[in-house]
């Protein structure tokens, strides 16, 4: 990795750094590179339960009606926005989930713990919606009404 004009590059590809994400000390984190503001807590952290897609949409609407964190233009993220955010695994884990940095492991391919997923705003065939998994980054399209153990929504807004 090398740095040019304060930007981090790995083999010519720009990579995320803590400088791309700014904690605002008000429950939000600014994604400087993408001109987005993310809610630091997801719906599971706020409500203590998992949501199906319709509940996630209702949660965003309720947050806007109540001016959650001082704003009324929260929305579900697109697949692309969520893919980009979850691609910064270490930053996401530390800033959003408050996970301590993982110690280096000597056992190859061992990943402790499970995955959970976040809803996106994107739908298909009027009854399916896309969600993205952390930490794997995989994306799947599922029935909006299915049991959603492990699925929440992280709200985002444009700057």
Per-residue pLDDT tens digits for 25-75: 999 999 999 999 999 999 998 998 989 999 999 999 999 999 999 999 999
Tokens of residue 39, six digits? 């809610």
**pTM greater than the 0.85 cutoff:** no
Q: Please state, in angstroms and rounded to a whole number, the distance separating the CA atoms of residues 114 and 112.
A: 7
Q: Please state, in angstroms and rounded to a whole number, the distance separating the CA atoms of residues 153 and 51.
A: 8
Per-residue pLDDT tens digits for 81-103: 999 998 888 888 888 887 655 55
Q: Please state, in angstroms and rounded to a whole number, the distance separating the CA atoms of residues 142 and 26.
A: 33
């Amino acid at each position: 990795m090398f740095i040019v004009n304060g930007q981090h590059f790995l083999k010519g590809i720009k990579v995320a750094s803590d400088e791309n994400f700014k904690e605002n000390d008000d429950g939000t984190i600014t994604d400087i590179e993408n001109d987005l503001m993310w809610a630091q807590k997801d719906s599971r952290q706020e409500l203590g339960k998992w949501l199906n897609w319709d509940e996630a949409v209702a949660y965003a609407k309720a947050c806007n009606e109540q001016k959650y964190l001082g704003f009324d233009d929260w929305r579900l993220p697109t697949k692309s926005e969520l893919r980009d955010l979850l691609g910064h695994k270490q930053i996401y884990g530390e800033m959003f989930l408050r996970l301590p940095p993982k110690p280096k492991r000597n056992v190859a391919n061992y990943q402790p713990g499970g995955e959970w997923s976040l809803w996106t705003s994107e739908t298909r065939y009027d009854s399916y919606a896309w969600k993205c998994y952390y930490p794997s980054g995989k994306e799947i399209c599922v029935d909006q009404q299915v049991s959603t153990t492990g699925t929440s929504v992280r709200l985002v807004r444009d700057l």
